[in-house]
Amino acid sequence: MTALLRYVKKSLFVRLLLIFGFTVISFFLIISLSLRAVNQTAITIETIPDFYMRNVESIIEDIGTPPNLSNAMRLAEELDWTINIRNPIMRWSSDPDNRLNVDASNFSRNITADAEVRTIDNEDIIRVNRGGYDFYLYQRSLNESNINFFVVYMGAALAAIVLFLNYFMVNRLLDPVRMLKKGAERIEKGDLSYRVQSNRQDELGELTESINHMADSLQSMLEAKRQLLMAISHELRTPITKAKLRLEFMPESDEKEQLREDIDEIDLLISDLLETERLNNEHAVLAEESVFISEFVCGVSEQFQDYAGGLKIECPEEDREFLIDRLRMRLLITNLLNNAIRHGKGRPISVALSFFEERAIVEVIDQGEGIAEEHLDRISEPFYRADSARQRNTGGFGLGLYLCRLIAQAHGGELIIRSKLGEGTHISVNLPPAPQTVSKVEF
């Protein structure tokens, strides 16, 4: 018995089979009992002689001739039968509705010398002639159609209960599927620390364990990649520093200037890589300090006033204090403005700060080339560029918006990009007054 229970517990198929087997058996029993209840509502011809021998003689004797109508009414109520009494001057019935017209009944067969079975509307009645009176006896109607409807309604109710129990059990059985779906969506969005909790031992439990092991493997692989990338980036700093020193001893020339730009570009790439990996770390710490946000945003933006296309800065006179990491927030605004200038085609750029409830909204708007709609969902992914054919001097490395998103999320905010091809790009960053604790920055 214990082994059977263990087998049932470990097999989802067997449990589903038991549930549907229970449903089939329940429906079979409901239908059988309903049909039996319906079939028991009529008295057959074969049962009437026995009934007559046992009861009718005593009924006629109790009524008497001439008939005692009060006795007849009492017997009709007690036996739940209808009694009709006829003679040339008397027509009496215990049932005011008198549902059967006994005068229109047809002879079926004799029971005794003064008793016979008659039929009307496929129903058997007993006629007894005694002392000049005709006594008609038949079962009082409980309205057979109502009886049948009651049985049907009861059967339907029981069937509905069985179906509900069936649904409830299957729904409970498939709860892990919904948990697995939620876990897969969380892992798909980059939350590799999420694990699906389940103590089942069947096939769904095994699938849950497989998904959790997959998440463990992915997390380990990405962590190893992150550590390798950070180690390589740190190691590259030494030869770059040496190259910069040697560059200073070279005579001035166009080649030296181009070489300096290339080295600075590599140095900037390494800095961005290190910063993004630091912000990807779930234990990343911001150097928070209280800053008047309007003054800060305007101060950083004013460094780009020499932009040929024109820079419009809008900051409210009312200022509020926010807890931010100055260096990283400066990097966010600088990257957004550099990106707007690079793709703004020399047209005006707007920087605006506003407050919505307790949050600050920083907006950078250009009227440049814009971004196609199919790229908007991925434009802030690392190393993703809307135009893969762009050169590095026009398209960057694909880290700028990714780093901006990480900085916004590290502060508990959000980076929102809206753009139309040929009409420009609108990027907004909303920030809470203080960074919120987040378990993991998604990437």
Name which residue leads in pLDDT, 186 or 36.
Answer: 186
**Cis peptide leading into 66, omega within 30 of 0?**
yes
Encoded tokens for 216: 């463990």
* Angle, alpha carbons 92-96-101 (nearest 5°): 70
Q: What is the DSSP code string of 240-301?
A: HHHHHHHHHTSPP-HHHHHHHHHHHHHHHHHHHHHHHHHHHSTT----EEEEEHHHHHHHHH
Which tens digit of pLDDT belongs to each residue from 111-168? 888 888 888 877 888 888 988 899 988 877 544 444 456 666 777 777 778 777 877 7
Encoded tokens for 32: 């059988």
| Cβ partners under 8 Å of residue 441, min gap 6 | 279, 280, 282, 284, 406, 409, 410
Burial of 199 per CB tally in 10 Å (0-12, 13-18, 19+): exposed
Which tens digit of pLDDT belongs to each residue from 61-93? 888 888 888 888 888 888 878 888 888 888 888
Q: Is the pLDDT of residue 425 over 90?
A: yes
Name which residue leads in pLDDT, 320 or 288.
Answer: 320
Q: How many whole angstroms separate alpha carbon 400 and alpha carbon 386?
A: 13
Name which residue leads in pLDDT, 420 or 281.
Answer: 420
Q: What confidence score (pLDDT) does residue 403 get?
A: 81
Confidence of residue 182 (pLDDT cuts 50, 70, 90): confident
Q: How many whole angstroms separate alpha carbon 262 and alpha carbon 33?
A: 90
Between the CA of residue 418 and those of 312, 322, 367, 379, 424, what are the distances in Å? 19, 25, 12, 11, 9
Q: Which residues of 422-433 are buried (b: 16+ CB within 10 A; e: fewer)?
A: eebbbbbbbbbb
| Cβ partners under 8 Å of residue 349, min gap 6 | 304, 307, 309, 310, 311, 312, 337, 340, 341, 364, 365, 366, 367
Q: What confidence score (pLDDT) does residue 416 get?
A: 92
Confidence of residue 234 (pLDDT cuts 50, 70, 90): low
Top mean-pLDDT range of 32-41, 376-385, 410-419? 410-419
Q: What confidence score (pLDDT) does residue 46 get?
A: 46
Report the range of poorest mean pLDDT among 175-184, 225-234, 285-294, 375-384. 225-234
Mean confidence (pLDDT) of the chain: 77
Q: What confidence score (pLDDT) does residue 402 get?
A: 81
Confidence of residue 50 (pLDDT cuts 50, 70, 90): low
Confidence of residue 429 (pLDDT cuts 50, 70, 90): very high
Q: Which residues of 258-267 are buried (b: 16+ CB within 10 A; e: fewer)?
A: eeeeeeeeeb
Q: What are phi and psi of 166, to 5 degrees?
A: -60, -50
Nearest to 229 by CA among 195, 174, 270: 270
Confidence of residue 279 (pLDDT cuts 50, 70, 90): low
Q: Is the pLDDT of residue 426 over 90?
A: yes
Sequence letter at residue 432: P
Report the range of poorest mean pLDDT among 3-7, 374-378, 437-441. 437-441
Q: Calculate mean pLDDT across residues 402-421.
A: 88
- Indicate the SS3 state at residue 93: strand
Q: Calculate mean pLDDT across residues 169-187.
A: 77
Which tens digit of pLDDT belongs to each residue from 24-33? 777 777 776 6
Nearest to 205 by CA among 9, 4, 2, 20: 9
Q: How many whole angstroms separate alpha carbon 348 and alpha carbon 367?
A: 7
Burial of 77 per CB tally in 10 Å (0-12, 13-18, 19+): exposed
Sequence letter at residue 153: Y
Task: State the distance between the two ends of the chain, measured CA to CA, in whole angstroms.
Answer: 51
Nearest to 86 by CA among 137, 45, 140: 137
Report the range of poorest mean pLDDT among 7-16, 248-257, 299-308, 397-406. 7-16
Q: What confidence score (pLDDT) does residue 1 get?
A: 58
Which tens digit of pLDDT belongs to each residue from 319-334? 999 998 888 888 889 8
Residues in the chain: 443
Q: What pairing do the DSSP bridges indicate for beta strands 414-420 and 359-366?
A: unpaired
Q: What pairing do the DSSP bridges indicate for beta strands 321-325 and 311-314?
A: unpaired
Q: What confidence score (pLDDT) does residue 392 get?
A: 45
Confidence of residue 381 (pLDDT cuts 50, 70, 90): confident
Q: Which of the 8 DSSP states describes residue 148?
A: H
